[in-house]
Homo-oligomer: A and B are copies of this chain.
Amino acid sequence: MHIALDVMGSDRGADELVAGALLALGASSIKITLVGDEEAISAALGKRNFGPAIAVLPTSQVVSMADSPIDAIRRKKDSSMVRAFELLKNKEVDAVVSAGNSGAVMASAIKFLGRLKDISRPAIASVFPTLKGPLIMADVGANVDCRPKHLYQFGVMASSFSKIMFGISEPRVGLLSIGEEGGKGNALVKKTHELLSASNLNFIGNVEGRDTFHGDVDVIVCDGFVGNVCLKLSEGLAESVLIMLREEISKTFRAKMGYMLAQKAFGNFKKRVDYAEYGGAPLLGLNGTAIICHGRSNAKAIQNAILVADELAANRVNDHILANLALDEAGLAAAADDEADK
Residues in chain A within 8 A of chain B (CB atoms): 130-131, 141, 144-145, 176-178, 185-187, 189, 208-214, 222-226, 228-241, 243-245, 248-249, 251-252, 254-266, 268-269, 272-273
Contact = CB atoms under 8 A, between A and B. Distances in A.
B258 A235 contact: no
Q: Which 10 A-B pairs have the closest CB atoms?
A: A258-B262, A258-B261, A210-B236, A209-B232, A209-B233, A213-B240, A255-B265, A144-B186, A178-B228, A255-B262
Contacts of A144: 178, 185-187
A224 B177 CA distance: 11
A236 to B, nearest CB: 3
Contacts of A249: 262, 265, 269
A338 to B, nearest CB: 17
Contact of A232 (B178, B236, B262): B178
A266 B224 CA distance: 36
A148 B269 CA distance: 41
A123 to B, nearest CB: 14
Contacts of A178: 141, 144, 224-225, 228-229, 232
- For A209, A230, A234, the residue with the greatest tally of chain B CB atoms inside 10 Å of its CB is A209
B235 A209 contact: yes
B265 A251 contact: yes
Contact of A229 (B229, B268, B272): B229
A266 to B, nearest CB: 7
A311 to B, nearest CB: 26
Nearest to A270: B248
Nearest to A273: B241
B265 A258 contact: yes
B209 A230 contact: yes
